[in-house]
Amino acid sequence: MSDEEIDESGGGGKGKLMVMIIVGLLLLVGIAVGAMMFLGGDETPADGADGPEQTSQLEEEIQNLSQKEEVRLKNPIFTPSKKYTVNLRDGKHFLSIDIAAALEDENALLYLASREPIIDDMIISLLQDMTTEDLRQRGGVEILKQEIFKKINGVFDQEFIENSETKDRMPVKRILITKFVLN
C-alpha cells in the first residue's frame, strides 16, 4: 500500500465518523424539541378558564409551597414509595406516579401503614379528578403535592396527636414524587 492509499482510507473513515456525529446530534436535537413540545403543552388557557385572578392565586400558592419545601428534616423517615396509575378526568390520558412521604416520627409511620387502604382511596380519588391541563400548568405538580400533603396529614386523629411525643399536628413533613408519567 502506498502512502496515498492510507491517507484516502483514513480520511474517509474520519468523514464517515463526522457525518454520523452530525446526524446523531441532529437526531438528539429533534428528539429534545419534540419532547419539549409534547411535555410543554399549550400554555394558553382553554376557553378563558384561567383568568388573571386564578393566575395570581396559583402564583401565591406556588410561593407558599416553595417556602414549605425549605423545611429541613433532622432525622427523616420515609414511607415506602407507593405507585398509583389512574385515568385522568378528561378520559384521554393517564397518570402514573410514585409517591413517598417524609416524616420524623416513627410512630407516625406505623400509624400511616395501618391506614394504607384509606390513604390509597383518598389519593386515587384526588388523582382521578385531575386533568392533563391541571398537571401541565406551571406549578400544577406542586399543587398536587400540597393536596396530597393535606389529605395524608388529615388522616391523623386527635388521639394520635395528643399521645405522640411531639404533639405535632402535621407529622408528614414532605410529599416526594419519585416517578411521574403523564400520558
Compute the distance between CA of residue 118 and CA of residue 124 in angstroms, rounded to an integer.
Answer: 10
Is a pLDDT exceeding 80 seen at residue 68? no
Is a pLDDT exceeding 80 seen at residue 64? no
Is a pLDDT exceeding 80 seen at residue 110? yes
C-alpha distances in Å from residue 177, one per residue of 90, 101, 116: 22, 9, 17
Compute the Cα dihedral for 78, 172, 169, 71 and give only its sign: positive
Question: Mind listing the pLDDT tens digit for each residue in 85-94?
Answer: 999 998 999 9
Question: Mind listing the pLDDT tens digit for each residue in 129-178?
Answer: 999 999 998 899 999 999 999 999 999 999 999 999 889 999 999 999 99
String of DSSP letters for 46-114: GGG-S-HHHHHHHHHHHHHHHHHTTPPPSS-EEPPPEEEEEE-TTSS-EEEEEEEEEES-HHHHHHHHH
Pairing of strands 82-87, 77-78: unpaired
Question: Mind listing the pLDDT tens digit for each residue in 16-43?
Answer: 776 667 766 666 655 655 544 455 444 4
Per-residue model confidence (pLDDT) at position 57? 55
Q: 84 forms bridges with which residues in the sheet?
A: 97
Reported confidence tier of residue 53, pLDDT bands at 50, 70, 90: low
Compute the distance between CA of residue 29 and CA of residue 23 in angstroms, rounded to an integer.
Answer: 10
CA torsion 111→116→119→120, rounded to 10°?
A: 170
Per-residue model confidence (pLDDT) at position 43? 42
Is a pLDDT exceeding 70 seen at residue 118? yes
